[in-house]
Amino acid sequence: MENSILIEYQDTVATVSLNRPHVRNAFDVEMMTALHEVFLQLAKNEEIHVVVLRGEGSVFCAGADLAYMASATQKTDAQNYAESQLMSDMFLALATLPQTTVCVIQGAVYGGGLGLVACCDIVMALNETRFCFSEVKMGLLPAVISPFVLHKIKATDAQRYFLTGDVFGATDAQRIGLIHIVVDELSLADEVNQQIDNLVSLSFDATRACKNLIKEVTAPRYLNKDLRDETCRLIIAQRKTPTAQKLLAERLAKKS
């Protein structure tokens, strides 16, 4: 079976790649488990100073797998809650890595994929990349990702995009603070290499301390476990609504 993620180590840099290009790198339980475990392992690895997150294929991440979301009604509340907590824990493990994290995105980032983006320190995107908080279009909520996304962007921008499900481009994503650097395809490799070269030249003690400083000063809401648990309960309840089940079934039918 194809590994859902790939990991490459080069000196003090680890590159983690989402590896389900046949479903636009949409994540299921297997991928979330693998990502969670590798982030926890990297957090303990003093030899790694920079972590790069990428997606194989033409799309960075389409969010949560539709089949995985539609299966909620066949599972117990306990199973659904555990899987939602796994997603939240995956994001938390990425957001709290001591290493500087660089996210490199292309094609599109939808739904839960924006949670991964929001958890990274430096985000670079190709200029044609499209973004969308698409949950509302399926009768769902961007619940589990919200503590992480709302640490990155303002509430007013969340209102604009959470409530409409509008697709927006890299320029707008940069304007609201979701991403930092917009590049064309010809420049991407050089820009990524320059960022990595700069980061590995810095003191890991200093960059790690900077991340801790920002966390202490801003008190990110994603560190509030009660809040994260509540977002898990909210998405479980919403997935089971007739509207969500109908819209998810229609989306799955279109794919088949």
Mean pLDDT of successive 10-residue stretches along the chain, which has 256 residues: 87 98 95 98 98 98 88 87 97 98 98 98 98 96 98 98 98 98 97 97 98 96 97 93 90 79
User: Is the residue at 198 inside a domain?
Assistant: no
User: Is the residue at 78 inside a domain?
Assistant: yes
Tokens of 131: 């973004």
Q: For residues 177 and 102, give the distance between their C-alpha atoms in angstroms, rounded to a whole number.
A: 15
Q: State how many domains the chain has.
A: 1
**Whole domain around residue 40: which residue ranges?**
5-187+224-255
The answer to whether the CB of 117 falls within 8 A of the CB of 109 is yes
Against a cut of 0.85, is the pTM above it? Answer: yes
pLDDT at 2: 60
Alpha helices per DSSP H over the chain = 29-43, 66-70, 77-95, 113-118, 146-152, 155-162, 170-175, 185-201, 204-218, 225-239, 242-255
The answer to whether the CB of 196 falls within 8 A of the CB of 48 is no
Q: For residues 214 and 220, give the distance between their C-alpha atoms in angstroms, rounded to a whole number.
A: 9
User: Is the residue at 46 inside a domain?
Assistant: yes
User: Is the residue at 244 inside a domain?
Assistant: yes
pLDDT tens digits along 204-223: 999 999 999 999 999 999 99
User: Is the residue at 80 inside a domain?
Assistant: yes
Domain of 228, CATH number, reads 3.90.226.10
pLDDT at 256: 66
User: Is the residue at 213 inside a domain?
Assistant: no
Residue that has been written with the tokens 């290493």 in this structure: 99
CA triplet 230, 224, 26: central angle to 5 degrees?
60
Which residues make Cβ contacts (< 8 Å) with residue 253, sequence separation at least 6? none
Pick from 71, 97, 87: which is nearest to 32 by CA?
87
User: Is the residue at 193 inside a domain?
Assistant: no
The answer to whether the CB of 47 falls within 8 A of the CB of 55 is no
Pick from 105, 89, 100: which is nearest to 24 by CA?
105
User: Is the residue at 239 inside a domain?
Assistant: yes
* Neighbouring C-beta atoms of residue 41, cutoff 10 Å: 13
